[in-house]
Amino acid sequence: MNRILACTASDFGKETTPLEIKNAIKASEGRVVLVNLAAENAPLYPEVTNGEMAAAFGADLLLLKGIDVKTLKIAGLGEISHLSELRKLTGTGVGINLEIADGGPEFKRLTPASLAEVLTKGADFLSLTAYVKPEATPERIISDIHLVRGSYAGLLALNPVVSHGADLKLEHLLAYVAAGVDLLTLPAPGAVAGVTEAQLSEIILAVRAAGALVSTTVGTSQEGTDKATIQSIALAAKRARADVFELGDAGVAGMPVPTTIYNASIAIRGRRHTFVRMARGANR
């Protein structure tokens, strides 16, 4: 598989993609843009899905959040049986997220049943999110990582949602990596109170030494901020050695503001790679 920067639509959706995508991200040298989508929310504009919109503005990878993996209903597209139906519109890699939680719809959170279901949908990668809830303890997170690893060998991301920089505990992060996480999602510098570039840089060095990559995310509604702010955050994340720059789904209508995707991409990889990603056809 090529580095993500050079991947075309035909690189994604293969049986081997989930096994190869980690190295493809690593080879891209901090120039990967991942966009979160609240998959069941009404799209920003009804003529296209939010996935198509995100891809058009420079996203390399899409992560579907809050989606029932049994019905697989995507706003603007309807119920689909396989993610290939979305990929043929976007030409990007597509992942699915499950929440680590006790409550809520069964097929939106990680359970044995939802895991069995999601493995039939053709995701290029899987993600787990542990929002700040009483049950989302480090022990529970590790247990759920082991549950996934019992039947899935592909790229596994984890967002152990951190609400303040003081809550970033390296020993917990390294334990998640040891349990089987490939891509650890941490707050970008300035995206969460108290998370600094220097702090993140030290953590990323340790996580990478342990064998995992790091995605730095903007998930505090700053995915709807102005150009100067998002570019400042994106460059700070890259200086801190982040492998992926990730934008959350709270910018507008269940996705980042499209121009925020574009501006972040320009900051971390320039016009060449941004324009090529935007122009690359979904049938290549």
Average pLDDT over residues 215-228: 96
Average pLDDT over residues 106-118: 98
pLDDT at 258 over 90: yes
* Whether the Cβ atoms of residue 46 and residue 266 lie closer than 8 Å to each other: no
Range 193-198 contact pairs with CB under 8 angstroms and sequence separation of 24 or more? 193/163, 193/164, 193/165, 194/164, 194/165, 194/166, 195/162, 195/164, 195/165, 195/168, 196/165, 197/236, 197/239, 197/240, 198/240
| pLDDT of res. 91 | 96
Comparing C-alpha atoms, which of 66, 70, 72, 63 is closest to residue 96? 63
| pLDDT of res. 103 | 92
Distance from C-alpha of 27 to C-alpha of 77, rounded to nearest angstrom: 33
Average pLDDT over residues 254-272: 98
| pLDDT of res. 193 | 94
Average pLDDT over residues 226-252: 97
| pLDDT of res. 38 | 97
In this predicted model, what pLDDT tens digit does every residue of 56-83 receive, in sequence order?
A: 999 999 999 999 999 999 999 999 999 9
DSSP state of 252: B
Residue with tokens 């190869």: 20
Average pLDDT over residues 187-199: 95
Cα–Cα distances in Å, from 90 out to 29, 30, 86, 224? Answer: 23, 22, 6, 22
pLDDT at 283 over 90: no
| pLDDT of res. 142 | 98
pLDDT-above-90 percentage for the chain: 96
Name residues whose C-beta falls within 8 Å of residue 11's C-beta, 6 or more positions apart in sequence: 1, 2, 17, 24
195 φ, ψ (degrees, to nearest 5): -85, 115
CB atoms within 10 A of CB 199: 17
| pLDDT of res. 269 | 97
In this predicted model, what pLDDT tens digit does every residue of 4-41 receive, in sequence order?
A: 999 999 999 999 999 999 999 999 999 999 999 999 99
Comparing C-alpha atoms, which of 211, 210, 233, 205 is closest to residue 220? 233
pLDDT-above-70 percentage for the chain: 100
| pLDDT of res. 166 | 86
